[in-house]
Amino acid sequence: MSVALELCNNCYIISPHSNDTFYLHFDIYLDDSDNIIVDNTLLEIPTAVEEIDAILNIPVKFVRGTAVYKQHLKVINKEDFEVSGLIEFLLEPSCVPYDVEFVSSYRSGVMKVKKIKTSISKEYKL
């Protein structure tokens, strides 16, 4: 599975490979399923470069411009199935967390991903 990001203007997100524990990092989640095995290694292309965060004064890996994330999925049940998923990220500099809900479906040997909706995270307090 791959996710392509195009961040406009001066927007950026935090890499899933950043070592900080303050920001919400980009991440992909799939619901538990007996039909697939998810490799938890998330490949980032290009690899984000560490910068010193101006607010925290610590190293943070920011993703600017475009990026592609790849996660390997292994189908272990050849029957048709669906599994729900979620992509989470914090869009900066607005500091707004977003959720992208999607469904991965496997039909007749073909895996497809369909975006359901993008919304501001329910945990976000205005």
Domain 2-120: give its CATH code. 2.60.40
Domain ranges (residues) in the chain:
2-120
Give the sign of the dihedral formed by CA 35, CA 33, CA 89, CA 63.
Answer: negative
Cα separation of 101 and 121, whole Å?
A: 11
Specify the pLDDT at position 124.
83
Specify the pLDDT at position 44.
98
User: Side chain identity at 85, as an amino acid letter?
Assistant: G
Cα separation of 32 and 41, whole Å?
A: 16
At 60, is the secondary structure helix, strand, or coil? Answer: strand
Q: What is the 3-state secondary structure (H, E, C) of 3-68?
A: EEEECCCCCEEECCCCCCCCCCCCEEEECCCCCEEEEEEEEEECCCEEEECCCCCCEEEEEECEEE
Contact 90, 108 (CB under 8 A): no
Specify the pLDDT at position 126.
62
Specify the pLDDT at position 80.
95
Q: Per-residue confidence of the chain (126 residues) as pLDDT tens digits?
A: 999 999 998 999 999 999 999 999 999 999 999 999 998 899 999 999 999 999 999 999 999 999 999 999 999 988 999 999 999 999 999 999 999 999 999 999 999 999 999 999 988 876
